[in-house]
Amino acid sequence: MVDYHAANQAYQYGPSSGGGNGAGGGGSMGDYMAQEDDWDRDLLLDPAWEKQQRKTFTAWCNSHLRKAGTQIENIDEDFRDGLKLMLLLEVISGERLPKPERGKMRVHKINNVNKALDFIASKGVKLVSIGAEEIVDGNAKMTLGMIWTIILRFAIQDISVEETSAKEGLLLWCQRKTAPYKNVNVQNFHISWKDGLAFNALIHRHRPELIEYDKLRKDDPVTNLNNAFEVAEKYLDIPKMLDAEDIVNTARPDEKAIMTYVSSFYHAFSGAQKAETAANRICKVLAVNQENEHLMEDYERLASDLLEWIRRTIPWLEDRVPQKTIQEMQQKLEDFRDYRRVHKPPKVQEKCQLEINFNTLQTKLRLSNRPAFMPSEGRMVSDINNGWQHLEQAEKGYEEWLLNEIRRLERLDHLAEKFRQKASIHEAWTDGKEAMLKQRDYETATLSDIKALIRKHEAFESDLAAHQDRVEQIAAIAQELNELDYYDSHNVNTRCQKICDQWDNLGSLTHSRREALEKTEKQLETIDQLHLEYAKRAAPFNNWMESAMEDLQDMFIVHTIEEIEGLISAHDQFKSTLPDADREREAILAIHKEAQRIAESNHIKLSGSNPYTTVTPQIINSKWEKVQQLVPKRDHALLEEQSKQQSNEHLRRQFASQANMVGPWIQTKMEEIGRISIEMNGTLEDQLSHLKQYERSIVDYKPSLDLLEQQHQLIQEALIFDNKHTNYTMEHIRVGWEQLLTTIARTINEVENQILTRDAKGISQEQMQEFRASFNHFDKKQTGSMDSDDFRALLISTGYSLGDAEFNRIMSVVDPNHSGLVTFQAFIDFMSRETTDTDTADQVIASFKVLAGDKNFITAEELRRELPPDQAEYCIARMAPYQGPDAAPGALDYKSFSTALYGESDL
């Protein structure tokens, strides 16, 4: 670069890569220089034009020299020593010139200017009548001509629109950009620009926010010109090269000055357009990445929510701790029904939708050449499926366990009530018996009284023996309650033990009293046989009646029509014994009447009631009447239960009828979907429409399932535990329905992904049908996927010549998980991947390089200037600092960022 220290000791500068069009080219200047001679070589003689050129060329030179930290004041004086001229050429070309001479003599100046002129000539420019001496001597005409030559070569030469010359290309560019604007008609580079509207139109066309064009008036050219010049200088970094008054007050403004100024607009806006194109490409790529990241975040969030729900639900389903009462267990059953009807179905849909979203995201990533999405640890689709299987395993048998527990508690309640009833009857019977057995009345009794006491005691022993069976029943019921883990077993055992201890004590007391009576029996005389016979027959009959009343009031629980019919049959058999019992009652009462008749006939005064028994005729008649009343009540209860069991049987048959229809329907639909997924005909859109119509028909069948749920709930509320009329349970139907909905949703998603792949890859409908036909032909098992041997045959049929290495490479692409199977989606992805035009990392790097001005790094300021705010901040947050040797403060590495977008490297 020029050593400018000789001319300006305070100025230091380094190499610059900017400025103009550079020096890439070197094409011949002969044509347009000859044309330039024809334009008018005498224009510089006009003082007005010379003034315009001086100002314009000076501003143009300074717009480049300021990059090196200097400027010129007088164009024909400041270039005389050649130093700033050489500096100008280095800045605008980006190349180094020979080292300048430091001396201040005329010869040194001429040598420096010649070095500059030689450099200009090396770029293919013919310098006509311009020599170093004229420049050194300050010849204004020659100096302006030289600068114009530099402007033509470095600012205008490369402007070409539709293969026109530089001047015509610049003019055609201006005409096209200003064509839509009223009062603008660019035909040349002089009078077409006098009113200033063309300058304002150029700015408005590219930066409409800077100019309020509709408010400009054609009859106010000075305002228009000043407005354009000020806006260009302030917002476009184009220095003011013209004076509005000079242009307005000149009949024909200088063409070279106008061209020079207009070329600055061309370069400013063509660079912006290039940067805009690059920015648009980057925005497109970033938008894809941002959308994919949003989908990934949504997946992670939904997966976490679903896994958390599964984590919370499984312990609840695995909690098999029984409750103490039927009401508590029925509440758990109702909670489980709410879970199956209300809480689980949305989660089934969420799980299915999550799988669909995951497949769609992977398809989008493949289509945009991004690496496959790997969810965070523990949130893979397989993790969700494993959790779901665990959930269903925990759920399996839970409802059956609840119903068995309810049945167990019902049995326990029944046994507990039966225990309490029998215990109460027994305790009522034993009340006062110990005191009675402890009496010593026989010590003062008469002979006849003794005889009576003996008979009475014998009757008591008979009664005691009759109650032995009840005590054994009480103990047996208590034992069964213990074995069934009754929650109140402690109180039951305490009461049972008390009854048994009392029974043993009664036995001991009975034995002791009998021995005392027998000791004095020898002293007793004849006992009234009739009373004794009455007592002996009345006691068992009384016991029979008590047992009959107990049986008639006994609680019962049945679950089938056969069980209730068995109870009815037993009750009918009991009723058939009533006539014999009535005859026995009449015989017993006749004995009592006979005793009274004899006493009356022989004038015997009875001391009171029968001394051998407390069972009086009144008691017998009262209990018999009670038995007579309980029989029809028992009839009514059994008939009611028979009606209930008939109703339950109706519910069983009703559920079975619906289940036997819904179950086969679901199985048929599953088989039809399997055939549809293999035998898809027509366009993908037709297939998708057909599948969605099929899905609607399945959803429309939901009321049949709801009806079955209602019938199942009625069965459960009726505590019906089995159904011999169908092999289908509600659980089987629910699982089948969920599988049917999931299968049709997955099939629709597969077709949607095929449409997405077809459109993104540019596959025609005919190609897609050909792919499908070929795939189906080699899908021997018609499962929608094929093994490696069938896939190799398919590839060979499509024209592939496969060696083992190439085939293994292809298999690693279509079967990355090494499952040994190739799906249709993987097949069409492979067939279209290598021929599709998609964004690549190299394209994104090239776009960033444009925005960075060809630098190997980019700054945050440049990103914020060229990209929308959200995408600029997205890049800044993810770009690593640039570490290259040419790094500047705040430099960011856009290359590693771009490759990372496509999974080729890590930031």
Buried b (16+ CB within 10 A) or exposed e, 291-322: ebeebbeebeebbeebbebbeebbeebeeeeb
Give the containing element (helix H, strand E) for 821: strand 821-823
Query: d(Cα 146, Cα 438) in Å, to the nearest integer?
Result: 152
Q: Say if residue 311 is in the same domain as residue 270.
A: no
> Cα separation of 436 and 714, whole Å?
56
Q: Which pLDDT does position 525 carry in this prediction?
A: 44
Residues 269 and 341 in one domain: no
Rounded-to-integer distance, Cα 123 and Cα 235, Å: 33
- Residue for token pair 């029979």: 544
Q: For residue 144, which amino acid is it?
A: L
Pair 101, 193 in one domain: yes
Residue 170 in domain: yes
What band does 159 get if pLDDT is binned at 50, 70 and 90? Answer: confident
Most confident of 193-202, 348-357, 898-907: 193-202
Instruction: Indicate if 577 and 637 belong to the same structural domain.
Output: no
812 within a domain of the structure (yes/no) = no
Q: Is the pLDDT of residue 2 over 50?
A: no
What average pLDDT score do residues 342-351 get? 89
Q: What total number of domains does the chain contain?
A: 5
Using the predicted structure, report yes or no on whether residue 73 has a pLDDT greater than 80: yes
Residue 456's pLDDT is what?
Answer: 84
Residue 350 belongs to some domain of the structure: yes
For the chain, percent of residues with pLDDT exceeding 90: 14
Quote the pLDDT of residue 42. 41
pLDDT, residue 210, reads 92
Which residues, in sequence order, are bridge partners of residue 858? 892
Between 247-261, 697-711, 776-790, the lowest mean confidence (pLDDT) is in: 776-790
Confidence of residue 467 (pLDDT cuts 50, 70, 90): confident
| Model confidence at 675: pLDDT above 80 | no
| DSSP 8-state class, residue 892 | E
Q: How far apart are CA 213 and CA 197, in angstroms?
A: 8
Residue 37 burial (10 A CB sphere; 0-12, 13-18, 19+): exposed
* Structural domain includes residue 171: yes
Q: Give the whole-angstrom CA distance, residue 504 versus residue 475.
A: 13
Task: Give the residue-averaged pLDDT of 435-450.
Answer: 73
- Is the pLDDT at 834 greater than 60? The verdict is no
Judged against a pLDDT cut of 80, whether residue 441 lies above it is answered with no
652 belongs to a structural domain:
yes
Q: Residues 307-331: pLDDT tens digits?
A: 999 999 889 888 878 777 778 878 8
Q: Which of 731, 761, 791 represents a domain boundary (last residue)?
A: 761
Q: Could you tell me the two tokens for 98? A: 């020979």
pLDDT band, very low/low/confident/very high, at 463 (cuts 50, 70, 90): confident
136 or 24: which carries more pLDDT confidence?
A: 136
Task: Please identify, among 417, 443, 477, the residue that sits at the C-terminal boundary of a domain.
Answer: 417
pTM exceeding 0.85: no
pLDDT at 839: 67
Among 360, 390, 417, which residue terminates a domain? 417
Q: What is the CATH number of the domain that holds 849?
A: 1.10.238.10
Q: What is the CATH number of the domain that holds 311?
A: 1.20.58.60
Determine the length of the chain: 907
Domain residues for the domain of 269 are 47-277
> Whole-number mean pLDDT of the chain?
81
Instruction: Give residue-wise pLDDT tens across range 382-399.
Output: 899 999 999 888 888 877
User: How many whole angstroms separate alpha carbon 243 and alpha carbon 816?
Assistant: 70
**755 in Cβ contact with 688 (< 8 Å):** yes
Residue 160 is predicted with a pLDDT of 65
Rounded-to-integer distance, Cα 195 and Cα 224, Å: 7
- DSSP 8-state symbol, 372: P
| 822 belongs to a structural domain | no
Report how far residue 229's alpha carbon sits from residue 261's, in angstroms, rounded to the nearest whole number.
10
Q: What is the reported pLDDT for 632?
A: 92
Q: Are residues 103 and 248 in the same domain?
A: yes
Radius of gyration of the chain (CA): 56
pLDDT confidence of residue 801? 67
Span 524-542, average pLDDT: 71
The token pair that represents 855 in the structure block? 């630098």
**Mean pLDDT throughout 843-848?**
87
Range scoring the smallest mean pLDDT among 141-145, 604-608, 856-860: 604-608
pLDDT one-digit tens code per residue, 559-597: 778 877 888 888 888 888 889 989 989 998 888 887 777
Residue 217 pLDDT grade (very low, low, confident, very high; cuts 50, 70, 90):
very high
What b/e string do you get for 471-502 counting C-beta neighbours within 10 Å, with b at 16 or more?
bebbbebbeebeeeebeebeebeebbeebeeb
pLDDT at 751 over 90: no
- Token pair in block for residue 417: 């009530």
Specify the pLDDT at position 445.
58
Does some domain include residue 33? no
pLDDT at 308: 93
* Tokens of residue 513, six digits: 């009293």
Q: Specify whether 375 is located in the same domain as 461.
A: no
Spatial separation of the C-alpha atoms in residues 82 and 113, rounded to whole Å: 4
pLDDT of residue 521: 57
In this structure, are 308 and 413 located in the same domain?
yes
Residue 766 lies in a domain: no
Q: From CA 631, how far away is CA 417, in angstroms rounded?
A: 21
3-state secondary structure of 860: helix
Do 356 and 470 fall within a single domain?
A: no
Regarding whether 270 and 294 lie in a shared domain, the answer is no
User: Alpha helix (H) ranges present in 484-616?
Assistant: 489-521, 529-552, 561-576, 578-601
Check whether 186 has a pLDDT greater than 90: yes
Residues 86 and 185 in one domain: yes
Domain shared by 113 and 238, yes or no:
yes
Q: Are 559 and 720 in contact (CB under 8 A)?
A: yes
| pLDDT band per the 50, 70, 90 thresholds, residue 480 | confident
The residue written with tokens 């050129």 in the block is 53
- How far is C-alpha 8 from the geometric centre of its chain's CA atoms? 70
Dihedral sign computed on CA atoms, order 382, 386, 391, 397 = positive
Between the ranges 74-88, 161-175, 316-330, 747-761, where is the mean pLDDT highest? 74-88
**pLDDT of 768-802, one tens digit each?**
777 777 777 787 777 778 888 888 887 887 767 67
pLDDT of residue 12 exceeding 50: no
Q: Does residue 532 carry a pLDDT above 70?
A: yes
Residue 523 has pLDDT above 80, yes or no: no
Quick one: 701 and 724 in the same domain? yes
Q: What is the CATH number of the domain that holds 192?
A: 1.10.418.10
User: Is 166 a residue whose pLDDT tops 50?
Assistant: yes
